[in-house]
Structure 1
């Protein structure tokens, strides 16, 4: 035991922090015995500078890194003016002060990633909250020290800050990467040249804004001499943009959304998962739109693909079984966990409504239940390797039928085919659903049972 707040960072947590180390000069201001230092060096850091207040730990850490001091609060900006990043796991008792000091000493363009007690950043007030709101993002990592040398027993938060470049000369330094080194990155999701083109477009847009702003300032200078009020820039009917920072945030957010649209995420994940993805996109306006950050985001998506699918699977089945007894699958003698898997036949509420003519039914647009059945179709497409575009949403069912059958009407109490199912609609708004193929039903419930830790009864095993 070196001191009461000595909590070495586990390697699993370091992977969760998504540290970008390659060819960077990194400061670790609370080095301890060097877990973060070792990780940075293993992942291509050019140099790791350290600070450590404990004398015994200093003897360990100076053999691994360049020790530049002991007390981080005595660190001056000129000591670390050449660093690219600050990665740290400071004492949780005053982690907020350490993060704020890191921001003060960090040079322009520096990234700061720090662990802390999540309650430190959960508060909606204070200087740290304002700093995160304007320049960073946070994540709740949960009680991620459960397998650590020393357990924290608290929810661990992560803060990621990006200190903007104010010097125009170096404004877009580091936005691109060497093509030879990075050609294979992206895991096939987006081509390297496509990512470079997106960043090129962003950089070009910002430079064009500079030219436009210069001309606008000249115009305002001229018209002020004849008593006219200043002219402002309007990007859309709702947003008045007067500064480059405002414009940059709009363009970065649109650029991140464009990437997610290119990935066709909506085809593969449930509406619940998509809400979290949209929330992620909303926060990216504070993350520099560089090639390296785009690849980092793509790697996160690839690395969490299994978790994303598992969550989509769980949501899709739970939507129908959680509160609806008649939709649950159970057999006599199978008491443990019965009532969770999806039945071969199930019922959806609030799917259809009476059409304008009153004689037929139509699928309600964007209904909650309609979204649930679409989520289930997406999951089944993943399990069975079928193309979601070939099936589409339940709402499209009306229009696709009309397109191919001019006189088509949805009639009550008649069976229709929709994707994996036969469906029947009723005037009270409900839809009865049954699987067309028992193999699809089996594979869905088998995957769901594996996820939940139980399986289909022996009677239903193949």
Structure 2
């Protein structure tokens, strides 16, 4: 009877070559190199490759015996490595050394488990068959590192070798020939080997339910051209269609699951099904989560977000859990939009006062003293208005890259300003922030952080976290200051209702301090004084 060590195909992988094979499987995640898991090691022999896989995974071994030391035994058990070995003697040794042996003959192995990598040194006499088997197991994606006799690749004289050569070529396999790789090995041999590295891209998932839903939607659009045109032109209508398709997909998934879950029970009829697929949500809970996702997406749409003040954006984001109880339907969306329209006037008023307070809060940042101009207010000496230039906090530089990267924070700060000025400038017409976003993107791509021109102002972004804007539209700046000053009671009640010469001396004194007779007369003549009536509601 022959022992495993006498086998003509038993050539334990040299440690240096085994290390190279295992090390090449590593990828970088969050700045750290790691081995993918789970890993399959077919034809594992006495564990030469398996031990080096553990070594690369930083599971320590006793340098004298090669066995796992006591400190790393638990770590070794946590590492997801499966071994396959035909020899019963070697299977016994692998198990004794703490390795998990899941099958005997690799060529008959049919795993349900999806492996991230296969690393192998198969019998040279059957190398082509073993590598073809590995390629079949990994057809949906993963990595393979395999040692073969070089002749298997160099001399494809059999149909099996020809098939292997074709598949390796199709998969852009990397082949490294190593002469005398086993010259100084535990079982020496003068043989040239081929180290084959194959990285198979993950297969795109295919869902029969998704294909059915896509076909049904296509048929519906063909049957109703008006619906197709609406979905194409209106992102909200398109979102409703996607939601309906997703909800129907969830219904069909649960229907399928309920139809097969009896397979997840044990052998006897009395046993209950087990939550194998972790369907820990009921159907209604899944639909509730879907609604929450789509309501959140609704308020992220520029068509909606652009016309909500910052406070309103926060309010509606906080209401997602409440809205998830309502279907994501045209009726409910229209109801919310009407509600937003009714609130936008008060919202814009609050936004104007909020911005004014932010820019004139001298205690917040000493640099803000450059923002304001003082004048004698009505019954107070503490009145002020925003000047031509404003400084405020705004992060637009990458913390780690050090590059100019105006992201969400910069867009949020600037759109808040531009939206407010737009409503003052256009008497409440609907705001669209596409131009602002395009300007920010172009500035980022060109690296222009200074004097970036927007609709009502230029902006310069500094690395210390501030933004300096200079207003380029004097009229809208005047309207902004007038609205805030009137709301705070710093201008006489007669301001905007009387001509300068019809005012009392006390009222004229305030006007003189605020802007002067000529500017006041121009303000009256061109109707630059905003009122609540001029802030129209959000249009459709």
Q: TM-score range by the shorter chain?
A: 0.3 to 0.5
- TM-score normalised by the chain length of structure 1: 0.45
- TM-score normalised by the chain length of structure 2: 0.39
Bigger-Rg structure (1/2): 2
